[in-house]
Amino acid sequence: MGIESTAHTWSVGIVDFSGNVLSLVNDMFIPEKGGIHPILVREQHLNNFINVINRTLSEASISIRDIDLIAFSKSPGLGPILKIGAQVSRLLSQLLDIPIVAVNHCIAHVEIGRLMCKIEDPLTLYVSGGNTIVSAFESERYQIFGETLDIPIGNLIDSFARDVGIPHPGGPRVEQLAKKSSKYLSLPYVVKGMDLSFSGLYSAVKRLLESKDFRNNYNLNDVAHSLQETAFAMLTEVTERALAHTGKKEVLLTGGVAANKNLQEKIKYISDEHDARFEVVPVRYAGDNGAMIGWTGILRYKALGENTISDTQINPKERMDQITIPWRS
């Protein structure tokens, strides 16, 4: 049983030791307005966690006694929310007398992609509300080749969406708006070495919305299109350079923003140019989900066995490149 609890989604997945997902149930916190408030999310997760666990068990047609291993996300994420996942998992592990494994959420996004897309050694572009990371396996770790220096790409899109009255998460609606335009308005494009910065882009977009030209010379679709084009071109540039540097022959797109067709096309284009196979994680497994935690827990358990309870401390800031990956060579 994999338990995901790093941010807005409490998700439980049941996965077998061969990588078949038996069930997956998500409960997502959707703010009425504004961003994600950790205390409100914590309350929702605390109210619903048993219900979600029970639904996951009944969907898989098994009992809690059939569970052999508990895995949970211990890093990175929002402290109060990570804690619930850790506490519920420790409790279950001790009550059922079964092993427990603590998993890094970002690594789980890569591992579920490798499993679902049947690829071995990809360069990964992981884009979500909380992360923007280009990584690949090298020297025993998922090394980070590029990342955002300020806000993550999903957060940029969601903030823009919020400013124009689109409810959270705004990504899918912004994609629809952008599709209706091909008028490009110039915006700041900031790539520093292999890293990206989106905060100047966000401020510039706000200025476009506040300008007297808005609705006279251009509309919301044009702004959405220009925002996506600029941000996605930045992501594509960094991914392509990492691809050239690492020489990987597979490219994996994962995280919630991977659902975006325009971004998929751009990353596929550079993958083709480098004769690399391009794969996108199926949408059910692209965003936060308990199945990816369960599967990564199984990989770690097969390679190194369980964690001790004292190893299951949460770590809100842990990076994926701080962890060695014993199940890969």
Do residues 111 and 292 make contact, with C-beta atoms less than 8 angstroms apart?
yes
Helix (H) or strand (E) holding 137: strand 132-138
Do residues 292 and 254 make contact, with C-beta atoms less than 8 angstroms apart?
no
228-247 positions binding ligand ATP, by CB under 6 A: none
Q: Residue 246 in 3-state DSSP?
A: helix
* Residue of 102, 71, 92, 83 lying closest to 7 (CA atoms): 83
Size of residue set near ligand ATP by CB under 6 A:
23
Q: Which of 147, 158, 288, 321 binds Fe ion (CB under 5 A)?
A: 288
159 binds ligand ATP (CB under 6 A): no
Phi, psi values for residue 128, rounded to 5°: -150, -170
Minimum Å gap between C-beta 290 and ligand ATP is: 12
**3-state SS track over 266-305:** HHHHHHHHCCCEEEECCHHHHCCCHHHHHHHHHHHHHHHC
172 binds ligand ATP (CB under 6 A): yes
Which of ligand ATP, Fe ion, none binds 141 (CB below 5-8 Å, type-dependent)? none
Do residues 306 and 68 make contact, with C-beta atoms less than 8 angstroms apart?
no
Minimum Å gap between C-beta 128 and Fe ion is: 5
* Contacts with Fe ion, 121-160, as mask; x by CB under 5 A: -------x--------------------------------
Count Cβ atoms within 10 A of the Cβ of residue 303 and give its class: 0-12 exposed, 13-18 middle, 19 or more buried: exposed
63-122 positions binding ligand ATP, by CB under 6 A: 105
Minimum Å gap between C-beta 8 and ligand ATP is: 6
Q: Which of 240, 288, 306, 321 binds ligand ATP (CB under 6 A)?
A: 288
* Residues binding ligand ATP (CB under 6 A): 6-8, 105, 128-131, 154, 157-158, 169-172, 175, 255-257, 259-260, 287-288
* Residues binding Fe ion (CB under 5 A): 128, 288
